[in-house]
Amino acid sequence: MERIETDLLIVGAGSGGLSVAAGAVQMGTRVVLVERGEMGGDCLNYGCVPSKALIRSAKAAHAMRHADQYGIASVAPQVDYAAVKDHVKGVIASIAPHDSQERFEGMGVRVIRESARFVSGDEMEAGAHRIKARRIVLATGSGPFVPPIEGLSEVPYLTNETLWDLRELPRHLIVIGGGPIGMEMAQAHRRLGSEVTVLEGGTALSKDDPELSAIALDAVRGEGVRIVEGAQAARVSGTAGALTVETDDGQRFEGSHILVAVGRRANTDGLDLDVAGIETTKTGIKVDDALRTTNRKVYAIGDAAGGLQFTHVAGYHAGIVVRSAVLGLPAKAKTDHLPWATYLDPELAHVGLTEAQARERHGESAIEIARFDYEGNDRAQADRLTDGRVKVVIRKGKPVGASIVGHQAGEQISLWAFAIASGAKMRDVSSMVAPYPTYGELHKRAAGAYFSPKLFDSAAVKRVVRLVQRVLP
């Protein structure tokens, strides 16, 4: 067995692990990176990248069906599902070199393609290697959670990992789970030609502001996706191509394929965390504000840390760990400025507190709300993409949360993420000048909606203005 000593051992070559490795090695740290699966992790191979590529194909098919609104004859798209999947694989292949073993070895990282497990508080075994490290970073990501539904293990079903191997378009896709992954894949497959039914035990898109998620869900329903809320899947039966899902209230739904999308859980199996004195929670590995585990030499980042499960959060965590484990500087992870987006059409994005969260934390009277609808934006009118809204939650003149539903919401939420992270005030956003006509004007107008009642509905302001008009030369 080869014995290796290093400054930093990273387990997991997804977004977080690769970011830590790149930052650390370029600063002169000795780095060993262990990965048991594909380089690039879930995001590149099964998550963000392939799903967005599939969504883009679906959007193209949808645009062909609705070109008549722009004075161009609509046509029925001829969807080749296998070719769509080839497009997805092509996108993955174009990004893969950036995350490749060869690239990181070229940087000076020792890459070992094995499973790793703890053998002491600062040592791990990976295949024929025993690695002793000054600091260890667990960036093992997460995998699809498959609930214990009666009969599910006896029938073929899909997850976000196995969906990409499917080459024939599902005739009728039943999606169990109405969260972001389930809803994105539901709309995409409907646009590609499948019948789609979504079964959600609670409320679809429940983590987002209900006022805005309702707009997105109405749009998806309008395209023919059947969304059944309060429908907990209880039993599954049938054979390939002829499957039945029965809910706990006795409803029966028949389809050709089942996609299980009820959530994800941290990948911790096989790490032997107890050997290293590392505790876990219901959602992942227990960490403090600095992302340290109960073993002070070990950090956990990204999905493994049991918090927000987004690629950009893993990247943010990576910066925290590099600052702490490499530079020895104090660093703590925060969540209030971290945005997320659901890539439906219209998109749904959020950062900070929702209205309900803000009122619960700060009190009813301490919170103000500003809204501006897409239909008041000239670019949205020109594009005929007026189905949307910007909603900002404000406390003491500062945004503490923002939600957007509409075209490019995922792109536009960055402005509010920056405003919250930097402590900007609404007057700062109001002072911004956006080029005309752009969707960026929506945010200036939302800030204007906040100030308008204070300026135009104020008797005191009007008295002052009348006085000023009298004395002006």
- What residues form the annotated binding site for NAD(+)? 177-184, 200, 263
In this structure, are residues 173 and 196 in contact, taking their beta carbons and an 8 Å threshold? yes
Annotated binding site for FAD: 52, 140-142, 303
In this structure, are residues 192 and 84 in contact, taking their beta carbons and an 8 Å threshold? yes
Sheet strands side by side (includes 347-352): 339-342, 347-352, 398-406, 389-395, 368-373
C-alpha distances out from residue 261 to 72, 74, 473, Å: 37, 33, 69
φ, ψ for residue 270, nearest 5 deg: 85, -5
CB atoms within 10 A of CB 71: 6
Candidates 276, 247, 243; CA nearest to 172 is 243
C-alpha distances out from residue 46 to 50, 54, 89, 105, 269, Å: 6, 11, 10, 24, 19
Q: Which residue has the tokens 């073929």?
A: 156
340 forms beta bridges with 350
Cβ-Cβ contacts under 8 Å for 12 (sequence gap 6 or more): 34, 35, 41, 138, 139, 140, 141, 267, 302, 304
Amino acid letter at 61? A
Candidates 63, 61, 56; CA nearest to 343 is 56
Q: In whole angstroms, what is the distance from residue 155 CA to residue 251 CA? A: 19
Q: In whole angstroms, what is the distance from residue 217 CA to residue 208 CA? A: 12
Candidates 225, 198, 174; CA nearest to 62 is 225
Cβ-Cβ contacts under 8 Å for 397 (sequence gap 6 or more): 425, 426, 427
Annotated binding site: 52, 140-142, 177-184, 200, 263, 303
Helices (H), 153-280: 180-192, 210-222
